[in-house]
Chains A and B, each alone.
Chain A
């Protein structure tokens, strides 16, 4: 007997069944059972070759992968994230880094393309998906709301001996990818305010426009209250999320206003901090520093933040 049984087999002519009959003559080699069996690589679950029957979904029957790709490339990143949970085919399609690269480059366009690529390599192992998930970003698809309440003692009237008012007001911030933002303080709820949070209304409605910068998870935002002696409003904020990658909270770390000399205002559009000469009297604000909660535009009508103060006396953004 030759040591290698396989050599004796006239290639592919004998079936595995016949080999078994001469088993007693040879050393046991169980893998020989595989001869004649049609071994193929296992196709991914849900792929066309694995399924014998037709895919019940019309969209899968009609659209080849490249057309499905086209549909996905027109979705917002948040819709893509949910679409990845629909079925295997969609998940595989959405693994394509191009989707996430586009989302990332849009979200951090302020950093610039070169810087984004550098950060991608140094911090996120060249994975755009990871960067999208882990790097802090300011959301532009909605409005950040900080709901503040305080108690004010009222004046004694008639039979009311010890009146107390619960006062509620909101800070609103809406960010734009260009590096500008809009700010408004108001007693109105979010569904009213969202209508005037645009640059067109920014002159009349008490909406102020300024500029912000984002470094890691820190946001620095400044704008000018106009007037004869302009006041600079300046806030330091920190981005976080209730879940990983949500970026739906903005903690207000510090808030200050300061009078500035008139000289710097000409260059206000360029760089507020660089051109303005600060005076000594910086007022640091200690009240109304409730964290901002993010309300996407689709949620503006239904958000709990619309509840009046008698229905919700205190809001914990979490």
Chain B
């Protein structure tokens, strides 16, 4: 047990130049300020902030900067949920347990409304959190799985912009997909 715990630290020492290690250890308990598009400032632990590839590269470009990181494309509401997700993810980084991770992911998704999910997708995309983006896209796809066209429209609030003739034609063309649809 003790040897396996030592090994990772050993490898990082080899791969990284010593100056970087010094800054990293100094920052380990540090908090990072992230400013959203609606001017709210989030104080996030560094380990969480480093999950955001965009923020990470910001620090890689300017390692010494201690200012607030502006996130111009990120509104506060979905961002707080993204942080919640990343905090959960970090727990699994230490001991990767795929089944537990999946369970936690599906629970995270389950309690979110459609609006939450849809608003989080561009945020996850901008921050380049691949895991979250996968989870969210899959969740949206799953929610309309085996549902009727009308259900999907009302589900996302999409206007039907087809004329009735066009729609009839389209439905005929896609008749193969309309077998065995769930009741709304």
Contact = CB atoms under 8 A, between A and B. Distances in A.
Interface in B80-138: 114-115, 118-119, 121-122, 125, 133, 137-138
Interface stretch (A17-25, A84-92, A195-203, A219-227): A84-92
15 contacts: A58-B114, A59-B140, A64-B122, A67-B137, A70-B137, A79-B146, A82-B148, A85-B167, A87-B160, A87-B162, A88-B161, A88-B162, A243-B176, A244-B175, A244-B176
- Chain B interface, >50% SS class: helix
Contacts of B179: 242-243, 246, 248
Contact of A79 (B141, B170, B171): B141
B177 A62 contact: no
Contact of B118 (A58, A80, A85): A58
B122 A67 contact: yes
Nearest to B182: A298
Contacts of B152: 82-83, 86
B118 A59 contact: yes
Interface string A219-243: 0000000000000000000000111
B59 interface: no
B161 A79 contact: no
Q: How large is the interface on B (under 10, 10 to 19, 20 to 34, 35 or more residues)?
A: 35 or more
Contacts of A155: none
A56 B178 CA distance: 26
B56 interface: no
Contact of A81 (B122, B148, B167, B177): B177
B61 interface: no
Contacts of B146: 78-79, 298
Interface in A235-290: 241-248
Given A81-B176, A246-B176, A87 B158 contact: yes
A85 B157 contact: no
B21 interface: no
A85 B149 contact: yes
Most chain A CB atoms below 10 A, which of B141, B158, B180: B180
A63 interface: yes
Contact of B178 (A60, A82, A87): A82
Contacts of A84: 170, 174
A317 interface: no
Nearest to B149: A85
A79 B174 CA distance: 10
Contacts of A73: 137
Given A67-B122, A70-B137, A82-B177, A57 B156 contact: yes
A59 B117 CA distance: 9
Contacts, number: 119
B159 A87 contact: yes
Given A80-B177, A86-B149, A63 B118 contact: yes
Interface in B140-173: 140-141, 144-149, 152-153, 156-162, 167, 170-171
A75 interface: yes
Most chain B CB atoms below 10 A, which of A56, A57, A59, A241: A59
Given A56-B157, A58-B118, A58-B156, A85 B174 contact: yes
A191 B121 CA distance: 37
A302 B99 CA distance: 31
A36 interface: no
A84 B156 CA distance: 14
A45 B182 contact: no
A140 interface: no
Nearest to A132: B176
Contact of B145 (A46, A62, A76): A76
A74 to B, nearest CB: 4
A62 B118 CA distance: 7
Contact of A62 (B119, B138, B153, B182): B119
Most chain B CB atoms below 10 A, which of A46, A73, A76, A81: A81
Most chain A CB atoms below 10 A, which of B114, B133, B156: B156
Nearest to A64: B122
B121 A86 contact: no
A133 interface: yes
A71 interface: yes
A78 B158 contact: no
Interface in A60-113: 60, 62-64, 67, 70-88, 90-91
A247 B171 CA distance: 17
Contacts of B148: 82
A245 B176 contact: yes
Contact of A83 (B121, B133, B144, B180): B144
Contacts of A87: 153, 158-162
